[in-house]
Structure 1
Amino acid sequence: MRLIELHAQSLELAAEVVDAVRPEQLDLPTPCAGWTLRRLLEHVVGQHQGFAAAARGAGPDLALFADAPVGEDPAGAFRRTGAELTAAFHEAAAAGRGLWLPEIQGAEPFPLPRAVGFHLLDTLVHGWDVAAALGDAAGLVAAVDGDDELAAALLAVTEAVPAAPENRVPGKAFRPPLDPGADGGRFDRALALLGRDPAWKA
């Protein structure tokens, strides 16, 4: 499935950002309000593990998506669990299996392409969160905007995220949409649609 390949590409771009994180930077603030860089990375690694478990056939168990410790080697944890997730997505594709994603809804499994798209969005947006926390997100933004297929996939998933006021309240995954402006590329537009300020600085 081509979307799994694009997802793996997004994981590598985000991993290159996480590779630069030093232990003394783990207490930095991030665009995720109230989250330090360590808290954000623990969330991301926990999501890798949860999506991988779902792709291997686990039922709607929220505990599978719990944050996971990253210790002093967040890059290693990110890459290891990211590789496991890619393998699990391929297994799900071969089996024709959908994914239970109880954080989104618990009524029925999601078709694999939708689930992969959800995680592609999370990967790139949280990769941007990490890069912004480190003070330089330009490289990641340029890499995504420079790849028409990846940028289009990101924007397509983003535009499908419900934007009704009740879906963008505190405690939900995203904030109310912002005006993306006329000067930014597709990554900036995706960020703004999800309520993130592309110009965010610590």
Structure 2
Amino acid sequence: MPIADPRPLDARAVRTCAALVAAAGSADPALPTPCAGWTLADLVGHLTAQHRGFAAAARGDGADLAHWAVRPGDDHAAAAEDVIAAFADDGVLDRDLDLPEFGPGARFPGALAVSFHFIDYVVHGWDVARTLGLPYTLDDDLAAPALEVALAVPGGDFRTAPGAAFAPERPAEPGAGALDRILAHLGRSPGWTAPQNG
């Protein structure tokens, strides 16, 4: 069952992630990330494009794939605030949103679509923090709903397909906290560290 109104949770996750992105230095875009094969620059490009795509979906124009394309030089902080503003529209939760990156013709109820965005930015916030060697804490009032959304993401062979949103599930350590359970279920290794040069 989707969270009744995930927008406040999403806004916090998005702004936390944006603050971490803003902490990157001039040499950091080339750093490897927990997203296999992606540098920090690749990841930030993806984050920015997803914000633009979800914002367009909230405004009724999500089916146009141009909104989901990575645009070099796009302003991540502006895109983050844009999607928060788009989701704030009173009717968003009651509409179906077009999310073509989930497949041709994919449409989801607004509350569920915002929940997808929320869990993405919980995890991507961790990705950016881990890439930069910065601390990342998931507040208790975000942890429970984020875990609920994460555990609703199905497993299966589609997770091994090119471009899959999440890698195959990993086993969580016994007694793992909510964040580590989220990361493991969505294919991350909670203990990931950047590869050392040389």
**TM-score between both structures, scaled by the size of structure 1:** 0.87
Structure 2 match to 1:74: none
Partner of residue 17 from structure 1, selected from 17, 20, 24: 20
- State the Cα deviation string for residues 147-173 of structure 1 (Å, max 9, x = none): 23x111211111111201233334311
Q: How many corresponding residue pairs?
A: 191
Deviation of 1:92 after TM superposition, in Å, equals 5.8
Deviation of 1:127 after TM superposition, in Å, equals 1.1
- Gaps of at least 5 residues in structure 2 are none
Contact 2:95 2:110 in 1 (8 A): yes
- Gaps of at least 5 residues in structure 1 are 72-76
**Aligned to 1:80, what secondary structure does the other structure show?**
helix
Distance in 1 of aligned mates of 2:92 and 2:107: 16
Contact 1:56 1:92 in 2 (8 A): no
Contact 1:92 1:98 in 2 (8 A): no
Higher deviation after alignment, 88-97 or 38-47: 88-97
Counterpart residue type for residue 64 of structure 1: H
Distance in 1 of aligned mates of 2:128 and 2:62: 30
Change (3 A) 1:183 1:68: farther
Distance in 2 of aligned mates of 1:46 and 1:92: 23
Structure 2 match to 1:178: 170
Counterpart residue type for residue 125 of structure 1: V
Distance in 2 of aligned mates of 1:174 and 1:94: 25
CA RMSD of aligned residues (A): 1.9
**Aligned to 2:98, what secondary structure does the other structure show?**
strand
Partner of residue 163 from structure 1, selected from 134, 138, 155: 155
Distance in 1 of aligned mates of 2:5 and 2:93: 16
5 Å-filtered alignment, 1:20-169, equals 20-70=23-73, 77-91=75-89, 93=91, 96-136=94-134, 139-140=135-136, 142=137, 144=138, 146-148=139-141, 150-169=142-161
Deviation of 1:87 after TM superposition, in Å, equals 1.0
Contact 1:169 1:176 in 2 (8 A): no
Higher helix residue share:
1
Deviation of 1:82 after TM superposition, in Å, equals 1.1
- Tell me if 1:5 matches 2:8: yes
Distance in 1 of aligned mates of 2:107 and 2:147: 23
Identity, % of aligned positions: 43
Distance in 1 of aligned mates of 2:163 and 2:56: 24
Higher deviation after alignment, 108-117 or 93-102: 93-102
Distance in 1 of aligned mates of 2:185 and 2:99: 22
Change (3 A) 1:176 1:87: same
Counterpart residue type for residue 150 of structure 2: T
**TM-score between both structures, scaled by the size of structure 2:** 0.88
